[in-house]
Structures are given as C-alpha cells and as structure tokens.
Amino acid sequence: MKRCVRPRCVPRLALAMAWALCAAAPAWAQGESWVRETYTKYEHHIAMRDGVKLFTSVYVPKDGSRTYPILLTRTPYSCRPYGTGNVRETLGPSETAARDLFIFVYQDVRGRWMSEGEFVNVRPHRPVKSGPADVDESTDTWDTIDWLVKHLPRNNGKVGMWGISYPGFYVSAGMIDAHPALKAASPQAPIADWFVGDDFHHNGALFLPHAFNFYSRFGQPRPKPTTKGPDRFDYGTADGYRFYLDAGPLSNLDAKYLKGQVAFWKDVMQHETYDDFWKARNLRPHLKGIKPAVMTVGGWFDAEDLFGALETYKWTEKQSPGGTNTLVMGPWYHGGWSRAEGDLLGDVRFDASTSRYYRDSIELPFFRRYLKGTADAAPAEAHVFETGRNQWHALPAWPPTGVDPRTLFFHAGGRLSFEAPGEAEASDSYESDPRRPVPFIEDVEIGMTREYMVADQRFASRRPDVLVYQTEPLEEDLTLAGPLVASLFVSTSGTDSDWVVKLIDVYPDDAPDPSPTPLPSPTPEPSLNPRYTRMGGYQQLVRGEPFRGKFRNSFERPEPFTPNAPAKVEFTLPDVFHTFRRGHRVMVQVQSSWFPLVDLNPQTFTNIREAKPEDFKPATQRVYRSRSQPSGLTVQVLP
C-alpha cells in the first residue's frame, strides 16, 4: 500500500505540484491491470449548447449483466491519460467505490487541456440566461449529463458528482439548476469565495506562497488543446522565507519571475478589494433550491478550502430548505480523506484510519443509497470528528445545538480566562517590523505546508513581537464546537496593520512522545533522517486566521487607522470541533505578521499590490484589555 510520506526536515516542493504527486500515489490503488480487466475506456468530445466541445473520458464496467449509475468528475487538472489504450491506475473516489462498480466519467473543463473554449477561473455563475451563448459551469454540467444519460451504454439514468478542491467547485456549480438525472453531489473542499476565506485570500490578506506556487504553473497560457502541462517554477532555493523577503514588494514577483505571462496573477494584483471581480466569483448566494442530495466534505486542518466546505454546507442548508444536505468534517489536510490514512498530521495523531472509515462507511453508502437505491442508511446531518479526544460523532445539526458562547479574555501577565477584565486602563504592546516578520512555521520550507495547521507554536511564543495569553491547566475537558470570533481593541502607530489570532492547545509537560518512536531513515543522507518533536509542552495550533486591518469595517472600502487611536477589529475564524483535555492549557497568540504565508503589510495605508519599499515601516502595535475595551476570543462551548 503506497502512502505519500515525507520526513518533516526535507523542504517541500511547491505544494500544488507536490500534492499532485500525492494524488498519483494515494493510500489505495487498484492498479492499471485491474482497471483494464474490469472497465472499458471510451473517449468523447461532448458538444455544449454553444458548440464548444469538452473532452471526456468514460470507464464502463465490462460486466454487462446490469445497469450502473454514473459518477462524474469535472476538472481543470486533466483527465489523463489520453487515448483509449491508456487507462488510469485508480478510478473513482475510493477503491471500494471502484470495486462496487459505477460508470466513471472524467471531463476536462472548458478551456483546459484537451477541451475547447476559453478557460475562466472560478467562472461566475449566470443566474439569468438569455440564449445558448450564456454559458457557465452549471450549463456545461447540465449539457454533459444530458449527453451521458442519452448515449452511454448500460447507465441507469442516475448521475452523481464528486470532486476535491477546484473540482469540488465544479460540483457546487453543477448542482445549481441541476439536470434531473443528477441525484447526488459531493463537493469536497470546494472553493466558495476566493477573497474572503478560500485559497488565496483570508479576510483580505493574500496567502502569498500558495497563490504564487499555484499560478506560476497553473496560470500559464494554453494557446490550444494539449496533453502536456507547463513546467514547474524553479525557486532556486528551499527557503521560502528568504525567497519572498528578498523578492521585495509584491509587484516584483511579476516583474522578476512571471514576466506578465500569468493573466490571473495580474487580475489578483489589480483587485485588492472585494470588488465586482471577486463578488462575481462568490458562489454562495447561488446555492439555492438545490435538488440533488448533497454531502459536503472538508478537513478541520485543510490549509486551502476549509472555509469553502463549511460555507457551502451552511449556505446550501439556508437556501435549500427541505433538501438533503449533509456535512462531513474529519481531521484531514486538503484532500486527505481521499489520499491518505488520516491517522496523523505532522506531529499530531488521531488514533485511527479516519480516511478509510470515511471512504468505506460514509462516502460509498451515500452514493449507493442515492444512485443505486440500496438500503444504506441515510447520512447523518453532520458526521464530524472531534479532535483532541479523537472520536466521530453523528449530529442532528452543525454547529451542534446547546453550545454556550463564552469569551476567553486577555489579562495582565499573559493570563487567559472566561472572567472579564476589571482594569480601567490596560494594554499590551509589541513592535512589528516588516524587515523581520514572524514566520508561520519553524522549519525551512518553500511553500505553504499542510502541516502548518497543527504545527508547534513554541517558536512563535518566544518572539517579542507575539503576544501570548494562556489559561491555567484545565481541571476538566473543554470542548469547543463551532465558529470562533476574535474581538480585538487595538491601535497601531502606523496607518494599517494585520492582526493574526491563533487558538492553541498547550500539552502538559509530561505529555508522552509518539510510541513507537519514529526510527531513523536507512539513508546515509543526514537531511533525510526523519525527526520527531517532543510532545511535552507542545503548542498545537488548533485554528489560526489573519485579518487585514484596513478592511475592519468593509472589504469593499478600506480605511486607514488613525495612528495610536484605539479601534475595534472583529472577525470570524472557521469552525473547530476540538477538546482541550484535562491538564492542557488554552492559549491565544496575537501577532501582526505570518510570513510568508501571508504577504507583508507595509503598515502604511496603501494599495499593497502597488507598495514601494519605502512604504514598509516598523510600527508599535497595542492590544487593549480593559473593562471598556476587553479583547478576547469568543468560543462555542459544548457542555
């Protein structure tokens, strides 16, 4: 059984490419010979209503004794290998699904790889269509399904869709105004809003290495249909912190490296606020009247599209009353439910093969029930994994009913408690210097690592430009279930600032190390020897999120801070379902840089995409914790 494993000390490749390698070596693999023995491959160019033809690969079971439902994936990442004589090594969302026998269909979306037409990133949905030229991903999905059910041999007239990340977006878009044959849809880590919380922006702050890594390759132009993708960007170093710091202002990245070749990178640089360009790419308002059964899947530690999974479920639930709409959340990195065992992430272990359980006991029964009419039980409203205590729950609602909103307030001496502050005037301050930003991880890496979502924060708590507040050791377990709200009363000596808030689980000093202890690698290369972290005193990141301060009142209309004048910054962090065990501490850290994960705020009010070197200035940041200005983190406590 293959697993995509890498010692923590080895620098990672650009993640979009490295994770593609993981997808090629999943935790399960039927093998090419098994696929050939069990399925027959066909290739089609399916015409859309405007005449554009989309390349589509189809795998039909060779057993002709019965009919089968169709499982469709639409992707911008290629449905290779091309040619009917070449077959995939894996089919479907899991090995068990492939062995259960479906008709598996893969399609290159409009303008990508072997499909005709123009590709548009997160193509805006058209709620009103006046003719065949008004196309979007909903119409392309409708036209594809209509052709499939009318032309594919031995199909039973029922279609399901699934896809992870960008393909997850195409599932969400395809279930809007859905074809009657589409009976089940599973958007997994779907993109929902690329400015507010998914992938490249979080609360207006640019996730720099993720955006640059991805678009330096994915965004290269494709002048005509092709089976070959562009080459990977060569950074010339393994040190992303140094690479992006040396690059200087954002405008230098295009001038030095992309050379104007990546159209969407230029779009990102030209749209710094939540303007019509980004609003048109917000799919959430269109998730209404959804007819297919929906199972949205996400990972609590998904570095890319945690926001999208939670928001897709929430908006579908709100705007499609009476429909079948369920949520699955596990302790996974991006796509980990499909590509790994799900028993650990970085230094944190989950005590079970959570991904295998999901694939066999949640995902496959969902598709069997709605596409094959089997007696598999209806899915729970929310099938969610509780981290910290490491157990699954089937809940009737998410967030669960009965939670108690309580605020963890900041106090003198770095104390954190549910008791409101009583001082008339009180604050803590630090110096934030763009020339020496706070790193987002301790290791040397080139890109956004998946492990950063649970990484040890002891390195950050030792820095003078990070404020640290923590409780006493807990006398009993504390379970948090639902969104977090950071409410900060702050000031800055500059005119803009980022505010990063991190919720952290501090392990006891006597917490045991992993057992068995990881063995040294047999390789003589010292840099390839795996290492492990001592878990005594480990500061596990549970949730962290940045907020670009100039958007505190509006993402559309940024406002400068008045130097040294208090202002309120309040924002929501994505949901958690985590138990801080007895003897652990709850910690909150506050800082103003998280580099290079988040692009540098010059701390001068300006269009950061156009900032000059002289705009980047040190600033004194102050967080207030008085009776009239109580800063803290509001959590949802589950009794």
d(CA 97, CA 70): 12
Which pLDDT score, from 0 to 100, does residue 518 have? 54
257 secondary structure, DSSP code: I
Q: In 3D, which of 91, 162, 537 has the Cα closest to residue 362?
A: 162
- What would the two tokens of residue 450 be? 């998946």
- Is the residue at 243 inside a domain? no
Bridge partners (DSSP) listed for residue 60: 40
- What would the two tokens of residue 550 be? 């100039």
Together in a domain, 361 and 442: no
- How far does Cα 594 stand from its chain's mean position? 17
- What would the two tokens of residue 311 be? 């928001």
Domain holding 20, by residue range, is 15-192+283-395
pLDDT higher than threshold 60 for residue 114: yes
d(CA 207, CA 209): 6
Confidence of residue 384 (pLDDT cuts 50, 70, 90): very high
588-194-544 Cα angle (round to 5) = 10
Q: Within 10 Å of residue 422's Cβ, how many Cβ atoms?
A: 10
Q: What is the mean pLDDT of residues 497-526?
A: 78
- By three-state DSSP, how is residue 410 classified? strand
Q: What is the mean pLDDT of residues 46-63?
A: 98
Which pLDDT score, from 0 to 100, does residue 533 have? 80
Which pLDDT score, from 0 to 100, does residue 123 have? 98
- By three-state DSSP, how is residue 187 classified? strand
Together in a domain, 496 and 616: yes
Q: What is the mean pLDDT of residues 357-364?
A: 98
Q: Pairing between strand 344-345 and 348-349? A: antiparallel
Which pLDDT score, from 0 to 100, does residue 251 have? 95
pLDDT higher than threshold 50 for residue 524: no
- Is the residue at 28 inside a domain? yes
Percent of the chain with pLDDT over 90: 91
Find the CATH number of the domain harbouring 557.
2.60.120.260
- Three-class HEC string of 545-611: EEEEHHHCCCCCCCCCCCCCCCEEEEEEEEEEEEEECCCCEEEEEEECCCECCECCCCCCCCCHHHC
Residue 416 dihedral angles phi and psi, to the nearest 5°: -130, 130
Which pLDDT score, from 0 to 100, does residue 95 have? 95
Q: What is the mean pLDDT of residues 452-463?
A: 98
**Which of 395, 426, 457 is where one domain is finished?**
395
Find the CATH number of the domain harbouring 135.
3.40.50.1820
In contact, 267 and 215? CB cutoff 8 Å: no
Together in a domain, 387 and 419: no
The one-letter code for the residue type at 138 is S
Which pLDDT score, from 0 to 100, does residue 396 have? 97
Bridge partners (DSSP) listed for residue 221: none
Which pLDDT score, from 0 to 100, does residue 14 have? 38
Q: Pairing between strand 103-108 and 68-75? A: parallel
- Is the residue at 260 inside a domain? no
- The alpha carbon dihedral of 476, 480, 484, 485 has a sign of negative
In contact, 494 and 561? CB cutoff 8 Å: yes
In contact, 635 and 480? CB cutoff 8 Å: yes
How many folded domains does the chain comprise? 2
pLDDT higher than threshold 70 for residue 22: no
Q: Within 10 Å of residue 412's Cβ, how many Cβ atoms?
A: 12
d(CA 137, CA 115): 14
Q: Within 10 Å of residue 64's Cβ, how many Cβ atoms?
A: 9
d(CA 267, CA 138): 24
In contact, 550 and 498? CB cutoff 8 Å: no
- Is the residue at 255 inside a domain? no
Lowest mean pLDDT of 24-33, 290-299, 506-515, name the range. 24-33
Together in a domain, 288 and 177: yes
In contact, 529 and 521? CB cutoff 8 Å: yes
- Is the residue at 69 inside a domain? yes
- Is the residue at 172 inside a domain? yes
Together in a domain, 450 and 578: yes
pLDDT tens-digit map of 232-244: 999 999 999 999 9
Together in a domain, 463 and 482: yes
Residue identified by tokens 């210097």 is: 433
Q: For residues 4 and 436, which has the higher predicted lDDT (pLDDT)?
A: 436
- Is the residue at 509 inside a domain? yes
Query: Is the backbone peptide bond immediately before 7 cis, with ω within 30 degrees of 0?
Result: no
pLDDT higher than threshold 90 for residue 100: yes
d(CA 628, CA 5): 50
Confidence of residue 10 (pLDDT cuts 50, 70, 90): very low
Which pLDDT score, from 0 to 100, does residue 514 have? 78
With residue 307 as reference, give the H or E element that holds it: helix 306-319
**Which of 341, 362, 395 is where one domain is finished?**
395
pLDDT higher than threshold 60 for residue 277: yes
Which pLDDT score, from 0 to 100, does residue 626 have? 98
Q: In 3D, which of 596, 609, 544 has the Cα closest to residue 15?
A: 596
Lowest mean pLDDT of 295-299, 327-331, 528-532, 612-616, name the range. 528-532
d(CA 363, CA 284): 23
Which pLDDT score, from 0 to 100, does residue 521 have? 45
Residues 6+ apart with CB under 8 A from 567: 489, 490, 491, 549, 552, 561
Q: In 3D, which of 508, 530, 532 has the Cα closest to residue 521?
A: 530
Lowest mean pLDDT of 23-27, 61-65, 314-318, 629-633, name the range. 23-27
Together in a domain, 35 and 154: yes
pTM across the whole model: 0.93
pLDDT higher than threshold 50 for residue 299: yes
Q: In 3D, which of 527, 361, 386, 353 has the Cα closest to residue 3?
A: 353
Q: How far is CA 393 from CA 396, 398, 400, in A?
A: 10, 11, 11
Q: What is the mean pLDDT of residues 485-495?
A: 98
Which pLDDT score, from 0 to 100, does residue 18 have? 39
d(CA 128, CA 122): 18
pLDDT higher than threshold 60 for residue 28: no
d(CA 514, CA 4): 20
pLDDT higher than threshold 70 for residue 280: yes
Q: What's the count of helices (H) and strands (E) in the chain, helices before strands? A: 15, 25
Residue identified by tokens 């301060």 is: 549
**Which of 395, 420, 436 is where one domain is finished?**
395
Together in a domain, 334 and 418: no
In contact, 389 and 206? CB cutoff 8 Å: no
Residue 588 dihedral angles phi and psi, to the nearest 5°: -125, 130
Together in a domain, 387 and 474: no
**Dihedral of the alpha carbons of 96, 98, 102, 106, in degrees to the nearest 10:** 130
Q: Is 435 exposed, middle or buried (0-12, 13-18, 19+ CB in 10 A)?
A: exposed
437 secondary structure, DSSP code: P
pLDDT tens-digit map of 154-194: 999 999 999 999 999 999 999 999 999 999 999 999 999 99
Q: Within 10 Å of residue 236's Cβ, how many Cβ atoms?
A: 8
Together in a domain, 420 and 481: yes
- What would the two tokens of residue 401 be? 């009913």
Together in a domain, 65 and 83: yes
Together in a domain, 357 and 503: no
Which pLDDT score, from 0 to 100, does residue 531 have? 54
Lowest mean pLDDT of 2-11, 70-79, 390-399, name the range. 2-11
- Is the residue at 569 inside a domain? yes
pLDDT tens-digit map of 115-155: 999 999 999 999 999 999 999 999 999 999 999 999 999 99
Which pLDDT score, from 0 to 100, does residue 29 have? 63
Q: In 3D, which of 83, 72, 149 has the Cα closest to residue 107?
A: 72
In contact, 90 and 98? CB cutoff 8 Å: yes
The one-letter code for the residue type at 249 is P
Q: What is the mean pLDDT of residues 38-64?
A: 98
Lowest mean pLDDT of 384-388, 528-532, 538-542, 610-614, name the range. 528-532
d(CA 378, CA 362): 10
pLDDT higher than threshold 90 for residue 265: yes
